[in-house]
């Protein structure tokens, strides 16, 4: 179904891929996202002629829904700004490195303002049309605040409601159409279709490429009711979880079969078919056919390479935005395969791409501080860090504030005092966190209703009390003297909210969970059970770790633990139980497996002296970017050792395997053991 250009001939055209199993009423565009998100993603294709597909793409649009997401400032203006920043970051980051979505553009012209127009889809004809106005011409989203106010409609920028209108219509003939709450002067989408059918009947409106007999009726629906921004990127056939499972020996056919066949979403089946087209003429890996155990080494090397690509992309993202991503999880980590030639391995030529770049625009601006990064409204568990989950659980809380000092300077007035939460400070603030104090008592007449503050350096901190120091405040005239008279007295009607410094904790927790997912998750254990058992294990053993050098001993303890040990065994690198059976060759050196586990521990755990997300010596300490760089270097070092096992020492390894095999046969039955040549 052609999307661009909607009319006329073109050497290349953009089409939406249709789901032919959608419903009896007709085919529907194939979607990659769930309907409860604020955006929708469609599968698209660039075509030459009718039989030539040049490139498969993903088209991302805002939803038409007006429901607000809890915990975030959610308006049309905010959503447009997030979308604009995501496009900006995608363009910038794509030029900085390969680990980001491939961005494509559409020349929509200045008249449309670079926005995809409202689109009407006729299921019977399998055609898209730009939504016409019942008066002739075309409808557009009304962004004229003066017009909206004059008709008693909510602001576009300040609300989540939107309305279609015909900008060319005379003032006394203006009609508005919307998908939000019912309003007397706003017609519904069903009424718009009815108005268009009447206009088609009267010959006022025509649909390009059709004769005058076509009517909309029940065969039509709106692909996008409003015009809006869009993002067009390359389509990646696999998620990083699927890639990891395939590297671990999972048959690609089982991506559909294991999860119940028809219950797999059509878009997922489509992605898997794209992967099959890459892998059909080639093997997936180099060592899957031989029995020395090198296939385990190869699987681990491929998984660590994918992980290293993710970490590198996060470094590039951090350099471009000066903040961590904070929304790293498998749905935002997609893998492009470039295909091998005949007989060459398909999984050895890939690129992991980091999506969800609108996270870079998820910030709050607080007086006296630069923009602060905040996590998404619905953190992805278990990949979201404890700090991110606490931030979303903790709202504005009541407290007691007692001032001890009021200091004037050229920049304003600084307040110092005690903050007490009798129920316990939540989340517990650290020296780099920012507190927003609410000053809601109107009798003080301060001229401000909130102040931003940090913990006073070197002041004692308890579970329910801290000493704070505010940034300079531009107080109203006379407010300083009124505040000085309150020193030592509890201020009424005060609240606080803690904004954690996520640049300190970064994306390390998410990377730790991701690495564990790649290393040990298979058809018998999931990531939730692994992280739960590890969290239980770390609690009593945290005191054994005084510094990073104690990490290997902690790994040894974990592998010997009755509950955790089996979850971390080397055979877990394989997906299927048959490959994890006892006695099956596995050539991963114990020292390299333990090193990979130690890296995962340092990323995932909150053990002081070991954790990369806690302050302290880190073997390469510094900012979150410095620590990410250390993660990349450590992953590269392990991967190079594995590649050395695969290639540089392969002959020696195979000879040792042969000798061990002959010894095993001699012990089993001397009569059948082959005689070694001397």
Model confidence over 342-376: pLDDT tens digits?
667 888 989 999 998 876 557 787 877 767 888 88
Single out the residue of 415, 593, 645, 390 nearest to residue 505, CA to CA. Answer: 390
Q: Is the bond into 465 cis (omega within 30 degrees of 0)?
A: no
Question: Token pair of 125, please?
Answer: 């004809």
Provide the sign of the torsion angle of the four alpha carbons 40, 41, 42, 44, taken in this order. Answer: positive
Mean pLDDT for 422-433 is: 91
What are the tens digits of pLDDT across the range 122-131? 988 889 999 9
**pLDDT above 90 covers what percent of the chain?**
50
Closest CA to 401 of 475, 451, 472: 451
The enclosing H or E element of 558 equals helix 551-560
pLDDT band, residue 652 (cuts 50/70/90): low
What's the confidence (pLDDT) of residue 615? 52
Residues with Cβ within 8 Å of residue 558, at least 6 apart in sequence: 534, 537, 564, 565, 568, 597, 601
Residue 100 has pLDDT above 70, yes or no: yes
- Do 572 and 525 form a contact (C-beta atoms < 8 A)? yes
For 181-212, write each residue's pLDDT tens digit: 999 999 999 999 999 999 999 999 999 888 87
Mean pLDDT of all residues in 279-297: 79
The two tokens of residue 553 are 């001993």
Most confident of the following: 12-21, 573-582, 616-625? 573-582
Token output for 333: 């980590």
* The predicted structure's pLDDT at residue 677: 37
Q: Which strand ranges, in their side-by-side order, compose the sheet holding 333-337?
A: 238-239, 333-337, 350-354
Cα–Cα dist 306/562, whole Å: 30
Query: pLDDT digit string (tens) for 557-594?
Result: 999 999 999 999 999 999 999 999 999 999 999 999 99
**Residue 267: per-residue pLDDT:** 76
Residue 659 has pLDDT above 90, yes or no: no
Whole-number pLDDT of residue 279: 60
Token match 């076509």: residue?
214
Q: Is residue 468's pLDDT more than 90?
A: yes
Asked if 314 and 89 touch (Cβ cutoff 8 Å), the reply is: no
Side-chain-side CA neighbours of residue 82 (13 Å): 20
Could you tell me the two tokens for 31? 């979607």
CA-closest candidate to residue 605, choices 476, 528, 513:
513
Q: Taking 50 as the threshold, does the pLDDT of residue 33 lie above it?
A: yes
Average pLDDT over residues 415-442: 92
Once rounded to an integer, what is the mean pLDDT over residues 433-453? 87
Average pLDDT of the chain to the nearest whole number: 85
Spatial separation of the C-alpha atoms in residues 499 and 369, rounded to whole Å: 11
Residue 7's pLDDT band (boundaries 50, 70, 90)?
confident
Q: What is the pTM of this model?
A: 0.86
63 pLDDT higher than 70? yes
Phi, psi of 469 (to 5 degrees): -140, 120
Give me 372's structure tokens: 């602060």
Alpha helices in 97-177 (DSSP H): 145-150
Q: What is the predicted pLDDT for the residue at 616?
A: 43
Mean pLDDT within 378-401? 91
By C-alpha distance, which of 64, 29, 36, 223 is closest to 141?
A: 64
- Asked if residue 126 lies in contact with residue 195, where contact means CB atoms within 8 angstroms, the answer is no
Of 115-119, 360-364, 502-506, 523-527, which range is least confident? 360-364
């Amino acid at each position: 179904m052609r999307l661009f250009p909607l009319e006329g001939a073109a050497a290349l055209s953009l089409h939406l891929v249709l789901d032919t199993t959608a419903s009896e009423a007709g085919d529907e565009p194939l979607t990659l996202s769930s309907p409860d998100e604020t955006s929708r993603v469609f599968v698209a294709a660039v075509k030459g002629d009718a039989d030539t597909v040049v490139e498969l793409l993903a088209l991302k649009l805002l939803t038409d829904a007006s429901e607000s997401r809890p915990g975030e400032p959610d308006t049309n203006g905010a959503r447009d700004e997030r979308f604009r920043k995501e496009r900006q970051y995608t363009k910038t980051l794509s030029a900085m490195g390969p680990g980001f979505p491939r961005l494509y553009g559409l020349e929509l012209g200045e008249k449309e303002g670079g926005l995809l127009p409202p689109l009407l889809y006729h299921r019977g004809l399998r055609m898209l049309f730009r939504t016409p106005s019942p008066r002739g011409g075309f409808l557009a989203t009304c962004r004229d605040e003066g017009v909206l106010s004059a008709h008693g409609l909510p602001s576009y920028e300040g609300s989540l409601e939107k309305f279609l209108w015909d900008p060319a219509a005379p003032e006394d003939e203006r009609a508005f159409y919307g998908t939000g709450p019912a309003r007397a002067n706003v017609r519904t989408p069903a009424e718009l279709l009815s108005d268009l059918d009447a206009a088609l009947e009267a010959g006022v409106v025509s649909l390009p490429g059709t004769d005058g007999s076509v009517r909309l009726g029940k065969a039509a629906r709106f692909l996008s009711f409003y015009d809006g921004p869009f993002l067009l990127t390359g389509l990646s056939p696999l998620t990083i979880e699927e890639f990891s499972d395939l590297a671990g020996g999972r048959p690609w056919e089982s991506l559909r079969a294991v999860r119940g066949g028809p219950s797999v979403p059509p878009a997922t089946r489509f992605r898997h078919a794209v992967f099959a087209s890459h892998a059909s003429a080639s093997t997936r890996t180099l060592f899957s056919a031989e029995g020395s155990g090198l296939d385990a080494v190869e699987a681990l090397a491929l998984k660590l390479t994918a992980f290293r690509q993710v970490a590198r992309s996060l470094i590039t993202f951090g350099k471009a935005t000066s903040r961590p991503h904070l929304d790293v999880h498998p749905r935002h980590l997609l893998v492009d395969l470039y295909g091998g030639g005949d007989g060459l391995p398909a999984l050895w030529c890939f690129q992991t791409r980091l999506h969800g770049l609108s996270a870079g625009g998820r910030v709050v601006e607080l007086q006296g501080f630069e923009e602060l990064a905040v996590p998404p409204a619905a953190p992805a568990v278990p990949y979201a860090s404890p700090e991110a989950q606490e931030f979303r659980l903790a709202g504005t809380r009541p407290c007691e504030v007692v001032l001890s000092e009021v200091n004037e300077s050229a920049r304003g007035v600084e307040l110092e005092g005690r903050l007490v939460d009798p129920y316990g400070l939540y989340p517990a603030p650290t020296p780099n966190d920012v507190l927003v104090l609410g000053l809601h008592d109107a009798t003080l007449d301060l001229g401000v209703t909130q102040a931003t503050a940090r913990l006073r350096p070197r002041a004692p901190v308890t579970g329910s009390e801290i000493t704070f120091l505010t940034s300079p405040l531009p107080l109203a005239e006379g407010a300083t003297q009124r505040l000085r008279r309150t020193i030592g007295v509890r201020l009424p009607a005060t609240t606080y909210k803690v904004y954690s410094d996520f640049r300190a904790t970064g994306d390390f927790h998410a990377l730790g969970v991701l690495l564990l997912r790649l290393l040990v998750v298979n058809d018998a254990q999931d990531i939730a059970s692994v992280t739960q058992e590890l969290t239980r294990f770390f609690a009593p053993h945290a005191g054994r770790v005084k510094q990073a050098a104690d990490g290997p001993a902690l790994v040894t303890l974990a592998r010997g633990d009755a509950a955790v040990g089996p979850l971390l065994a080397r055979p877990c690198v394989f997906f299927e139980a048959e490959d994890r059976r006892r006695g099956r060759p596995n050539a991963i050196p114990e020292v390299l497996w333990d090193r990979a586990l130690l890296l995962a521990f340092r990323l995932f755990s909150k053990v002081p002296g070991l954790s990369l997300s806690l302050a302290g010596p880190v073997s390469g300490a510094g900012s979150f970017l410095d620590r990410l760089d250390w993660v990349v270097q450590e992953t590269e070092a392990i991967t190079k050792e594995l590649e050395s096992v695969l290639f540089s020492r392969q002959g020696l390894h195979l000879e040792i395997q042969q000798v061990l095999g002959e010894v095993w046969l001699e012990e089993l039955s001397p009569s059948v053991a082959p005689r070694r040549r001397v």
